[in-house]
Structure 1
Amino acid sequence: MQVDPEAQRLLEMPDEEYMNDAQLAFFRKRLLAEQAEVEAHLVEVRNAIADNERSGDELDRAAVEEELRLLLRQADRETRLLHKIRQTLRRIEDGGYGYCAETGQPIGLQRLLLRPTAELSLEAKERQERREHHFSKSRGDQ
């Protein structure tokens, strides 16, 4: 797997320099690019939804409704992602980016490179998922 040279440079920085200006600038740039990409795709999805609703021909209604349902789900997912990206950009500005919202410990560059919007360290995320799994089992969801 080819590693982005800029990301590799960040990974080579000493731990004491965690979330320095260069790292914050890297993630800000990456998040802004992802935000622009999601916004553009969301416009495409919304246009497809609007075009679908205006379709006046006698297409199979079940197929049209299924396509519309999938487009709405996609728009919902991307709207939530856009909100999460904007929250993450605010955390960069506020100085909390890169630190676990639960423990205050560093999330880690490896995790942030894979998921720049991560708010929890890997350990905290695993605990959260175990709690959610336990809760859903106790409710009988599974």
Structure 2
Amino acid sequence: MEEKMFEAFKTLLSEQKRLLIQQANQTVSRESNGAQGQLADYADIATLESDRTFHLRLRDRERKLVQKIDQALERIEDGTFGICERCGEDIGTERLKARPVTTFCINCKTQLEEEEIE
């Protein structure tokens, strides 16, 4: 892969990470402020808790994505980005564009998913 491509992926991943952290900070700020006033209706309280749980689950998934982004950035730095962990072949550029945190080529990922089904 060319150096330009590495830089493009590094920029893309860094921007994704920045946005995810920004969203997480907004969620924490919003959740720590809590509901304004007293909620008297149990349905309102349940809705508020349900929304809170939903947002926290989303942030947890995003936290895991930030970890994967950090790992991808490390692979860019050490020169292993774009190389399949399973077979050692290059991961296609189109696959990396679709999922830049991937560590498997499409063939190996397909095989792994088929093994999970069986």
Question: How high is the TM-score relative to the length of structure 1?
Answer: 0.76
Asked if residue 38 in structure 1 is aligned to residue 17 in structure 2, the reply is no
Asked if residue 112 in structure 1 is aligned to residue 112 in structure 2, the reply is no
Q: Which amino acid aligns with 1:81?
A: L
Q: Which runs of 5+ in 1 are unaligned?
A: 1-18, 135-142
| 1:46–1:75 CA contact under 8 A, matched in 2 | no
Question: Which of residues 63, 72, 87 is equivalent to 1:103?
Answer: 87
| 1:98–1:112 CA contact under 8 A, matched in 2 | yes
| 1:49–1:71 CA contact under 8 A, matched in 2 | no
Q: Give the distance between the partners of 2:33 and 2:64, measured in 1 at CA.
A: 23
Aligned to 1:69: 53
Percent identity, aligned pairs only, is 30
Question: How high is the TM-score relative to the length of structure 2?
Answer: 0.90
Number of equivalent positions: 115
| 1:51 Cα offset (Å) | 2.3
Question: Which of residues 65, 73, 78 is equivalent to 1:81?
Answer: 65
| 1:68 Cα offset (Å) | 1.0
| 1:55 Cα offset (Å) | 4.6
| 1:130 Cα offset (Å) | 1.4
Q: Give the distance between the partners of 2:75 and 2:105, measured in 1 at CA.
A: 15
Q: Which amino acid aligns with 1:40?
A: Q
- The CA RMSD measured in Å over matched residues stands at 1.4
Greater than 2 Å deviation, 4+ residue runs = none
Q: Give the distance between the partners of 1:55 and 1:105, measured in 2 at CA.
A: 55
